[in-house]
């Protein structure tokens, strides 16, 4: 499965960044993504350096400033998991 965009990396023959790991949230956290450009989970050289993530971040910021954001869901089908933000806890079990 190909995880990365097709953007060329300067100074290397490797291609792409993992767009899920190119956001500015916890970008530099250890173990969260690869720092080597040939790895499948390469995060990029800096947060939002991929045009796709940068464009989405700009659009989301504009929406937030104009009308607010109440909910944002990021669907990932591979793991079949519901994941909560670090600042939130899952609802108590019934």
Domain spans in the chain, listed from the N-terminal domain onward: 1-94
Give pLDDT tens digits for 37-55. Answer: 999 999 999 999 999 999 9
Structure tokens at 17: 């960044």
pLDDT category at 1 given cuts 50, 70, 90 is confident
Q: Indicate yes or no: pTM above 0.85.
A: no
CA of 62: how far to CAs of 52, 55, 56, 86, in Å? 16, 11, 10, 24
Lowest mean pLDDT among 44-53, 55-64, 76-85: 76-85
- Of residues 57 and 89, more confidence is placed in 57
Lowest mean pLDDT among 21-25, 46-50, 69-73, 76-80: 76-80
What phi, psi does 39 have (nearest 5°)?
-80, 150
């Amino acid at each position: 499965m190909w995880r990365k965009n097709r953007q060329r990396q300067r100074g290397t023959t490797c291609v792409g960044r993992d767009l899920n790991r190119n956001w500015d949230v916890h970008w530099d956290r250890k173990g969260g993504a690869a720092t080597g450009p040939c790895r499948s989970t390469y995060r990029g050289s800096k947060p939002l350096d991929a045009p796709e993530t940068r464009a989405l971040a700009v659009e989301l910021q504009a929406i937030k400033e104009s009308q607010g954001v109440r909910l944002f869901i990021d669907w990932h089908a591979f793991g079949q998991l519901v994941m909560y933000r670090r600042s939130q806890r899952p609802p108590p079990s019934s």
